[in-house]
Amino acid sequence: MSDVSARVVIVGAGHAGGSAAALLRQYGWQGPITLIGGEPVPPYQRPPLSKTWLHGAGALADLLLRPAAFYRSSRIELQSACNVLAIDRVGGTVRLAQGDDVAYDHLILATGAHARVLPVPGHDLAGIAVLRSLTDADHLRSLIVPGAHIAIVGAGYIGLEVAASARSLGADVVVIEREARVLARVASTPLSDFFQRRHAEAGVGIMLDVTVDAFEGVGGRVAAVRLTDGTVVACDAALVGVGVVPNDALAQAGGLACDDGIVVDRAARTADPAIHAIGDCTRRPLPLYGRTGRLESVPNATEQAKQAAADLCGRAPPPPEVPWFWSDQFDIRLQIAGLPLDVAEIVVRGDPQSGSFAIFHLTGGGVVQCVEAVNAPAEFMAGRMMIARRRPAVASRLRDVSCSIRELAG
């Protein structure tokens, strides 16, 4: 167990870093906690940025993870708009872009991820947005006005959530996707088909199997997206949502093992006993799936924040959680539990045409690895339970909606 009066420095004040600071206090950490973030605001929730925030609903106070006053009253020194340049593991300090070095006994890296840049000509024209931060969201909000033509590059969750929001705000939307279906990297084919249909019905233009060649500008401002097949899609603004890259450069420069993310164990420890890493920036064990992976999600940020805080405070490690994700688009609530790894069979329960159904992913042995639930909260919760238990399920019974989900979850 650590000395709970030692100094903790947390680099990164997003969901993971902010949660770790709060949990350390919950778990009885007495020593100084310094929370250093590059953004000018206290830790906030990112999921609403593509949804309610774009609609102009809600105030900053509602977005914040905890009230601004919380940090002072909890003796957490929050240093906002402050960038960390380097870690000195021998000296036990972090170097800031402005001001003095900050000394640590324990360091938690919660540096997050950044939006991947599309390396094509014109990618830095005005009117091209990404969506990761509050600043990005405010920029995007200024571009999505009624009647505007918005080109969205990438049909992942960010692209589709923004497409849904932009349509309801009265913009014209075209989504440009390199793969043959939407959500290709993150969802099963039946789910892709469902979302593709719903977006098309809502008037979203969807172009598949196409690649961006360049952004074309007029007077330094984006005016069109040119595709490699020669097609030109005129637009007033564009959003690029083609995935994120973990911010592991600080850790790499500090000599910590990184492999598309900072490598950590089940307690969010790096190989350096003084350094933990949590959230989007990590490559972590996935105990249910017997491998490591990167999880870009709020539940992952909070789970690893719990692991690190418990480890530092000498508490029993928290039980492993089933990874999960959610997305809201139009009137669709998508909830996903688990990961579709080692899947031999896909079972659709319910009729996608009805707008409420669930897709179960099973191994060859019938173990449920993942459930994608569309407007089906009971199936999501039951699936999450089945994934945790690792007991084989019978595909024909899962498919049969006359078998109650309660009975199937056992």
Going 290 to 157 to 329 to 139, the CA torsion angle's sign is positive
Residues 58, 190: Cα–Cα separation, whole Å: 34
Instruction: Report the site for other proteins in 328-347 (rule: CB under 8 A).
Output: 328, 333, 335
Q: Is 324 in the site for other proteins (CB under 8 A)?
A: yes
196 vs 300 by CB, closer to other proteins = 300
5 vs 26 by CB, closer to other proteins = 26
Q: What pairs with residue 233 in β-bridges?
A: 225
Residues 243, 237: Cα–Cα separation, whole Å: 19
Residue span 21-40 as binding mask against other proteins, x where in contact by CB under 8 A, dash where not? -x--xx--------------
Residues 301, 280: Cα–Cα separation, whole Å: 7
Residues 187, 175: Cα–Cα separation, whole Å: 17
Please say whether the beta carbons of 181 and 239 come within 8 A: no
Residues 14, 45: Cα–Cα separation, whole Å: 8
Residues near other proteins (CB under 8 A), total: 31
Instruction: Report the site for other proteins in 54-113 (rule: CB under 8 A).
Output: 65-67, 70, 74
Least gap, CB of 378 to other proteins (angstroms): 4
70 vs 195 by CB, closer to other proteins = 70
Q: Find the binder of other proteins among 321, 329, 371, 387 (CB under 8 A).
A: 321
E-assigned strand segments in 61-210:
76-79, 84-88, 93-96, 102-103, 106-109, 113-115, 128-129, 149-153, 172-176, 205-207
Q: Which stretch binds other proteins (CB under 8 A): 106-114, 115-123, 309-317, 375-383?
A: 375-383
148 vs 388 by CB, closer to other proteins = 388
3-state DSSP percent of the chain in helix, strand and coil, to 5: 25, 30, 45
Q: Is 319 in the site for other proteins (CB under 8 A)?
A: yes
Summarize as ranges the residues that interact with other proteins (CB under 8 A): 22, 25-26, 45, 47-48, 65-67, 70, 74, 298-299, 302, 319, 321-322, 324, 326, 328, 333, 335, 377-378, 380-382, 384-385, 406, 409
